[in-house]
Structure 1
């Protein structure tokens, strides 16, 4: 009886397999279509993760940790105030109480601590855009993105509002350095945040440094990292007061949010080596000496703060940068990556740069194959 049952099961499996193959042939299902279906399932899983209770728990944890991280950065900087020859932090110049923001001017050697934040998938959840593109077959393009921004419907992530309140109650400010377009998306983005409970008085125009922000003589800084440095080195006029600002912390969901002069539009090898740099590793999740990159005359230069710490020369040895320069200041800084954005980002573009030309739509599988080659088979 058992043998008969096994034989019947085998016949059923073979019939199902045969019918599937015939169906593929009759309907001309190609490898690319099968891969596309697999990719679609992967994207669906990304959306389900984005709207899951576990994702909310992760975000709450991350932003509570960000509060502690900000406190640690300020404490660390104050320990080394005597080593700084270009200014010190002042924590009593920003007052926020009873829905009123008050800014006092800084003296030449005073700086207000600030946090630079990305918005999309860092403060705001845009998973409905991907969900609609999957279920309704809408294209994910600039036109549909603009339509989505105009709806002002993106939900603010759990933990964000408490984090923002902590910064302002402790003498700091938030600068918005998203790559949304300053001239097209600013007002809708503000209204979206207000709809989600963000205090309107903390959305002053001077705090918005998105893509296309115009500076003196209509100068525009495309790279986020250049915007950070401009804020650090030029007085910012807020509520009629000119103040020195120092970005002590950067929050984003993509490596390009931190040192874009090195990582932006680069392949996966650059990004992997970036994360092997010991100085960069220390910046994620703890206070460490500030690192910045600049593009100068077709050269990429790594600058590091003079805080008595050693500098990693890995990127120079890999010939991915051309020079390392020590700056005669001691500023501390930290990075926080809001993980879990498996929907889109620079990480996907970096893999495509390396694999798409040769492997087409199979580029993801090829990247994974090469990753698995690093391990001994466990069959």
Structure 2
């Protein structure tokens, strides 16, 4: 097993390098980069202030016409700006070096988790991510735990009652919940419980109240749960369908096997057969998928919910940085998500062997 883990860890290196290379290449061709955005903003500013910022004057002399033409071909709207000023902008945003050199610097820095500073917030990227982490942890962790707590018992019950009215009715509810986007559930909950048209029970925005720091521990916990109830409910309502159906199908597949019939013939109760024999084998794929499900909920499932409930988490940070062309934040998020994804895949494989020691990845190809 140790050799398998080492091989997987070594395989992560070229994989993460490939992801970084593709992401970096895409960034180079996306129009409206930080330099172009700065130029667009400065074009509407006073010429004198532009000249002062560039340090080289706002007028282009005869000797600089060729350089100005080269710059104009690279950046739309740069006519009338001093080429030296454009060079200063490129240096400020790190575009003064060839693309390959910038990529190698990126790899070197990211290997030590040095993500630099945000272009527009003048804050270290790692600090920005740490600030947004509590919101994403709250949404992802609670959603995953509650989703599994509902899905597993419901899936088992559906398997036992397969084909009955209970199975049909719950399948209709589960599929309906899966088909409706979670942000629509969020809007409905706001209308019902946030003073939209009916009851004013829960807060409309934020993860905590303004006076959170002044509260004692018990009231802090209650305040936090009060704020997180509706966002988590909206996420859970649309998230447990896949796990429920997966649990049901896994149990149905195991129930039909010969060892279950043998256990019943020995006189064991249905409960003993179900939880003493079937449960471990049927839940293998469900439990082993927990790390991946948590990661998916953690990073990808909460963007619209964060928008609806005004929660400033990683989802909104990634979206806003992409719109603003804040490349250090964008690339750092991609790097962290990809690295965590690779690690979680390995953890999922190890979870299989922990649940069922009969599974041996050592004899398989990576």
Per the shorter chain, which TM-score range?
under 0.3
Higher relative contact order (CA 8 A, sep 6+): 2
TM-score normalized with structure 1 length: 0.26
Q: Indicate the structure with greater strand content.
A: 1
